Structure 1
Amino acid sequence: MNRPLSSAERSAEQRQNWLKEEARKARESRGEAGQMEFWLRLARSRMAKDVKANQPGVYAGFALVCRLFITALDQRVEGNERIWNDLLQYAEQVVAKHPPRN
């Protein structure tokens, strides 16, 4: 028999469900661009909170992720899809193991 969820666990579960639902709504109303915009807004909000909390490396980390993404796009345009495919595969693995919280 499973124990009842604590309030923190229920809150985390509700947050995950909300994120999934909002991403789904964004995709249904505006397509993949809408879903991308939703995650960008969420990332921007989270980054602003981390900067206010004096968390180091927020800007540098985001800049590095953007540079990686641009490099993967550039390589794909040049006919080398290895970095693009590896990036997507790794991202899918990480997101599957670590759903968003708070």
Structure 2
Amino acid sequence: MNRPLSSAERSAARRQDWLKGEAEKARESRGEAGQMEFWLRLARSRMAKDVKAGRGDVYPGFALVCRLFITALDQRVEGDGRIWNDLLRYAEQVVTKHPPRN
């Protein structure tokens, strides 16, 4: 038998639904680029909140993720798609297991 969701769990579920809905709206209106822009705006907002909370290491972390992404793109252009494929596979595993919160 399932127990009723707590208010925190309901709030998290509503947030998940909102994120999915907004990402889908962005995709419908502007395609994949619109969805990408939505996630970039969300990431920028979250980074600003982290910096205000005293977690300034978010900037070098994001820079490193961007460098990884560019390296994967460059390697793919050169004919070696292993890093790109590994990056996408890992990213899919992480976001499936840990969907965005708050």
* TM-score normalised according to structure 2 size: 0.98
For 2:52, the equivalent position in structure 1 comes to 52
How many pairs were matched up? 102
For 1:15, the equivalent position in structure 2 comes to 15
For 1:92, the equivalent position in structure 2 comes to 92
Structure 1 regions of 5+ residues with no counterpart?
none
**Deviation for aligned residue 1:57:** 1.2
The two structures, once aligned, show a CA RMSD in angstroms of 0.6
Query: How far apart, in 1, do the equivalents of 2:62 and 2:99 lie?
Result: 19
Q: Which runs of 4+ in 1 moved over 3 A?
A: none
Query: How far apart, in 1, do the equivalents of 2:30 and 2:80 lie?
Result: 30
Query: How far apart, in 2, do the equivalents of 1:22 and 1:37 lie?
Result: 11
Letter in 1 for 2:60: A
Letter in 2 for 1:73: L
SS in 2 for 1:40: helix
* TM-score normalised according to structure 1 size: 0.98
Structure 2 regions of 5+ residues with no counterpart?
none
% identity of equivalent residues: 86
